[in-house]
Amino acid sequence: ATAAPPTAFNRIYHVAAADVAALQASAGPGRTKLEAFTAHLWQLYSRAATPRQDSCCMGVVVDGRGRLRPDGAMRPYFGNVLTIPYGAFGAADLRDMALADVADDVHRWVAEAATGEHFQGLVDWVEAQRPEPTVARAYIGGGDDDGSEGETASCVVSSGLRLPFGEVDFGWGRPAFASYHFPWPGGAGYVMPMPSARGGGDWVVYVHAAPEVVKVMEQEPTVFRAPVSSDIFG
């Protein structure tokens, strides 16, 4: 029997520092590199949306350690203290928006979640739900995914840009390359930018996404570039 086509691809891309800087400049003053990158990715999702997907949802993982305890007491905590704020737009509307407007929206909902008050409320809510399982709405497009008409293309961005991979040494030298692999089940995409181990501001970006999204990424002239050789890894 013929195997069913894959529902998601896993890819690793090289994103040059100059392309990251160009995105940030296009996103407008006061926007971070990650906000600009997320806005660009969100618009790529809108271009890849199928006829059944009339909206696109984008989430960003926000770390709560420093928000819950600004004194640094949670810095050595081993485990996740995360929230995933998200935004949603109609696919057609998102395609027509300027990158700066999309980045403004990303900044708004990330800033709303990046507070101690938000995380304390989240902790209280989780305690109240126990032992019932819960799931972040960003995974399911911001609402219930019941397979009806009006599906949502969704993705979550998790930043590994603060992880100092270039400084790690287990005794046989520093790494030439570091990336991620997280092919989670379900229909939501997952994208994780990480610093290139060689430094210089370049990124190595792991992508778990639907085939149509990967196709749109690889058709654009800049930003998402498949490594053509090992030279970019140092």
Tell me the C-alpha distance between 83 and 74, whole Å.
Answer: 16
Cβ contact 18:214 at 8 Å: no
Q: Considering its fold, how many domains does the chain have in total? A: 1
Task: Flag whether pLDDT at 146 surpasses 90.
Answer: no
Q: Is residue 132 part of a domain?
A: yes
The predicted model gives 58-62 an average pLDDT of 94
Q: Is residue 3 part of a domain?
A: no
Q: Is residue 234 part of a domain?
A: no
- Listed range (48-52, 106-110, 118-122, 221-225) with the worst mean pLDDT: 221-225
Residue with the bigger pLDDT between 158 and 7: it is 158
Tens-digit pLDDT profile for residues 70-129: 887 777 777 778 889 999 999 999 999 999 999 999 999 999 999 989 999 988 998 898
Residue 24 belongs to what domain range? 9-72+80-227
Q: Is residue 155 part of a domain?
A: yes
Q: Mean of the per-residue pLDDT values for the chain? A: 85
Q: Is residue 232 part of a domain?
A: no
Q: What is the CATH number of the domain that holds 14?
A: 3.30.559.10
Amino acid making up residue 49: A
Instruction: Encode burial over 215-226: b for 16+ CB neighbours within 10 A, e otherwise.
Output: ebbeeeeebbbe
pLDDT for 148: 45
Q: Is residue 90 part of a domain?
A: yes
Reported confidence tier of residue 142, pLDDT bands at 50, 70, 90? low
Q: Is residue 139 part of a domain?
A: yes
Q: Is residue 22 part of a domain?
A: yes
